[in-house]
């Protein structure tokens, strides 16, 4: 059932619409209902597009939306650009069919260039910072801490990409924008193809995505439905632009609707996250927890007792209060802190999620498909199968494979059957090696992403893992979620423990070195403070019933604000 405001947004606001949705106000529910309604009226020659920020977001919407047939595109902006702009129109500039550069190729570049310049241990992170502005010039505003000149590295990297006939994710967006900006007939083609384009997590839209969508909107032949919450803009570092709702309201001539009824949290939790913003809208609480007077708990820990405190809290909820592990999340600001939590808990409790793995998160179609297969092996549902098929579609698209529908079905069946047959008792490294063989033989191409995965596994951690334990954890099924706040965005849990909400961590301050016994950090800026505020807002608002905030003797600057809201 939709509430009055949601019904208005879905059924009455037929033109371009921006929906500002606070935590727990039914953002995804409204987005799906709008799409379902548009499908009932869509002309036979038109399609819908639902653009999400992550593949997980696309999977969730795909699961909820019925009667999709071939009239709905659901995926990230990169996938949208590959499928509808780069592949069909790259010929205009004699661009080769787009293929995303592999991990092995990136390492080849790093090794090849060592005699000229050594990028150091963060080489891959630095390469990801290389991108082009809308005007075609190198973006020199990025935080570049390498001793090697940015322009020198960028020129060499772009030459290497050209030689390999490959592109990176930044290149997908720039080339798509260039095609759109310089070829009006492409814009007309896209505008005529789509009946409506919806964008989830609109607050994290970057300038390329914005300009591509704005160009399509100027044709006035399809509508736009933009959903998000500017208070949850946590991807500034990835290019999320400022004041995007206000900007889009003007550029897209869009009405703004505000969802002010929330269905997630206790009143105490709502008051806590609302206190982070002076102009926070007043929310109407219709959660089943609204009358529960559970106090938000703040605990100061020391280096000596932090681990035992955390373990004791989890024991209290799981063994004494009998809370289902899947309803508990422990969220940190950084992956390494999440890994530390996992190490503490995994000997006594089942922990799941990317933060529980012995390596940092990977963002490629190979690892995404690996994760989907792991989930299916523990939860063989129609939903899980649908997610696998979507992951295969993305993998095929990113790698520029050309396959028929018959081949696609064969690959799906083959991957699932071979994955299940891998011996779970193998060691972690042997198990992952076997999975690489499954991928390589099924797709008939080498998957270097597994080499990247193996290289990232903590050497001290590896002996403690079997392959069975790894895929069980990777599946994310029926365990305590250990993750970063960024990765938990869009999710909710009965019990949330925010870990190490300390000075220097939130807002984040880069460590610069040590002077005597003092640790030196970069100065805070208005942007870093705002980024810390929005990240903490997301973390607090994941909680439905119980929220516990752990900090040390130097708490985050926001702790006093949160405490004041609970007095």
How confident is the model over 348-379, as pLDDT tens digits? 898 887 667 888 777 788 998 999 999 899 88
Q: What is the mean pLDDT of the chain?
A: 91
DSSP character string of 225-280: EEEE-GGG---GGGTBPTTHHHHHHHHTT-EEEEE-EE-SS-HHHHHHHHTT-TTP
Which helix (H) or strand (E) segment holds residue 375: the answer is: helix 365-378
Query: What is the Cα Rg of the chain in Å?
Result: 24
Maximal C-alpha separation, the chain? 72
φ, ψ for residue 33 (rounded to 5)?
-60, -40
Tell me how far apart the alpha carbons of residues 40 and 492 are, in angstroms, rounded to a whole number.
Answer: 31
- List pLDDT tens digits, range 103-133: 788 889 998 988 888 888 778 888 888 999 9
pLDDT value of residue 302: 94
* Residue-level pLDDT at 354: 65
**What is the mean predicted confidence (pLDDT) over 431-445?**
95
Considering the chain, tell me which residue range(s) the CATH 3.40.50.300 domain(s) occupy.
4-87+175-259, 267-354+480-565
Q: What is the pLDDT of residues 267-283, one digit of tens each?
A: 999 999 999 999 999 99
pLDDT average, residue stretch 73-100: 91
Residues constituting the chain: 567
Sort residue 349 into left (φ over 0), alpha (ψ -120 to 50) or beta.
Answer: beta
**3-state SS of 483-544?**
EEHHHHCCCCEEEEEECCCECCECCECCEEEEECCEEEECCCCHHHHHHHHHHHHHHHCCEE
pLDDT at 390: 85
Q: pLDDT value at position 12?
A: 94
* Burial class, 396, CB count within 10 angstroms (exposed 0-12 / middle 13-18 / buried 19+): middle
- Please say whether the beta carbons of 217 and 8 come within 8 A: no
Q: What was the pLDDT predicted at 290?
A: 93
- pLDDT cut 90: percent of the chain above it: 67
Q: How do the residues of the chain divide into helix, strand and coil, expressed in percent and rounded to 5?
A: 50, 15, 35
**What local confidence, expressed as pLDDT, does residue 64 receive?**
84
Q: 70 falls in which pLDDT band (50, 70, 90)? A: low
Question: What is the C-alpha to C-alpha distance for residues 90 and 73, in angstroms, rounded to an integer?
Answer: 20
Least confident range of 42-56, 388-402, 497-511: 388-402
CATH number (1.10.10.10, 3.40.50.150, 2.40.50.100, 3.40.50.300) of 4-87+175-259 reads: 3.40.50.300
**What is the structure's pLDDT at 237?**
82
Q: Quick one: pLDDT band at residue 473, thresholds 50, 70, 90? A: confident
State the CB neighbour count (10 A cutoff) for residue 359.
17
Confidence grade of residue 68 (pLDDT, cut at 50, 70, 90) = low
- Give CA–CA dist 227/61, Å, rounded: 13
pLDDT at 69 over 80: no
Q: Comparing 195-199, 403-407, 494-498, which segment has the lowest mean pLDDT?
A: 403-407
What is the pLDDT, as a whole number, of residue 511?
81
Give 26's pLDDT tier (boundaries 50, 70, 90).
very high
Look at residue 188 and tell me whether its pLDDT is greater than 80.
yes
Strands 543-551 and 493-498: parallel
Cβ-count burial of 529 within 10 angstroms (0-12 exposed, 13-18 middle, 19+ buried)? middle
Residue 174 is inside which H or E element, if any? helix 169-182
| CATH label, 267-354+480-565, candidates 3.90.70.10, 3.30.300.20, 3.40.50.300, 3.30.70.930 | 3.40.50.300
Choose from 27-31, 355-359, 454-458, 520-524 the range with maximum mean pLDDT.
27-31
Which of these ranges, 7-21, 147-161, 295-309, 390-404, has the smallest mean pLDDT?
A: 390-404
């Amino acid at each position: 059932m939709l509430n009055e405001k949601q019904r208005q947004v879905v059924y009455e606001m037929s033109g371009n619409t921006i929906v500002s949705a606070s935590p727990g106000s039914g953002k995804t529910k409204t987005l799906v209902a709008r799409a379902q309604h548009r499908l009932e009226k869509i002309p036979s020659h038109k399609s819908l597009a639902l653009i999400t920020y992550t593949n997980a977001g696309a999977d969730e919407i795909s699961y909820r939306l019925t009667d999709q047939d071939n009239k709905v595109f659901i995926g990230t902006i990169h996938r949208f650009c590959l499928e509808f702009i780069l592949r069909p129109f790259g010929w205009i500039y004699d661009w080769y069919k787009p293929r995303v550069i592999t991990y092995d190729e990136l390492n080849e570049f790093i090794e090849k260039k060592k005699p000229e310049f050594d990028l150091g241990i963060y080489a891959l992170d630095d390469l990801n910072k290389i991108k082009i502005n809308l005007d075609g010039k190198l973006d020199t505003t990025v935080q570049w801490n390498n001793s090697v000149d940015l322009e020198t590295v960028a020129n060499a990297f772009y030459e290497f990409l050209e030689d390999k006939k490959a592109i990176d994710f930044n290149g997908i967006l720039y080339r798509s924008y260039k095609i759109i900006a310089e070829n009006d007939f492409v814009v007309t083609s896209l505008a005529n193809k789509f009946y409506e384009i919806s964008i989830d997590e609109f607050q994290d839209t970057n300038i390329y995505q914005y300009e591509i969508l704005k160009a399509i909107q100027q044709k006035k032949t399809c509508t736009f439905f933009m959903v998000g919450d500017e208070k949850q803009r946590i991807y500034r570092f990835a290019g999320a632009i400022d004041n995007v709702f206000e900007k889009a309201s003007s550029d897209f001539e869009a009405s703004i609707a505000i969802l002010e009824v929330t269905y997630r949290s206790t009143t105490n939790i709502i008051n806590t996250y609302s206190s982070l913003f002076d102009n926070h809208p007043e929310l109407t609480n219709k959660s089943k927890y609204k009358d529960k007077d559970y106090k938000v708990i703040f605990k100061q820990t020391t280096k000596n007792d932090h681990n035992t405190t955390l373990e004791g809290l989890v024991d209290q909820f799981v063994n004494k209060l009998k809370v289902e592990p899947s309803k508990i999340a422990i969220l940190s600001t950084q992956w390494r802190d999440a890994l530390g939590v996992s190490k503490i808990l995994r000997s006594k409790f089942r922990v799941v999620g990317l933060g529980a793995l012995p390596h940092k998160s990977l963002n490629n179609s190979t690892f995404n498909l690996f994760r989907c297969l792991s989930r299916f092996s523990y939860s063989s549902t129609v939903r899980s199968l649908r997610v696998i098929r979507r992951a295969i579609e993305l993998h095929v698209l990113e790698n520029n494979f050309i396959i028929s529908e018959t081949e696609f079905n064969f690959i799906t069946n083959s991957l699932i059957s071979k994955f299940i047959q891998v011996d779970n008792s193998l060691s972690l490294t042997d198990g992952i090696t076997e999975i690489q063989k499954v991928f390589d033989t099924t797709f008939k191409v080498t998957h270097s992403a597994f080499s990247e995965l193996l290289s990232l596994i903590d050497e001290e951690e590896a002996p403690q893992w079997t392959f069975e334990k790894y895929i069980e954890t990777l599946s994310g099924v029926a365990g305590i979620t250990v993750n970063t706040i960024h990765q938990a965005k869009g999710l909710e849990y009965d019990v949330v423990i925010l870990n190490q909400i300390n000075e220097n961590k939130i807002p984040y301050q880069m460590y610069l070195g040590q002077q005597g016994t003092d640790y030196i950090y970069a100065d805070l800026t208005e942007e870093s403070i705002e980024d810390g505020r929005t990240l903490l807002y997301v973390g607090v608002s994941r909680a439905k019933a119980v929220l516990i905030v752990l900090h040390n003797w130097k708490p985050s600057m926001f702790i006093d604000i949160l405490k004041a809201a609970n007095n």
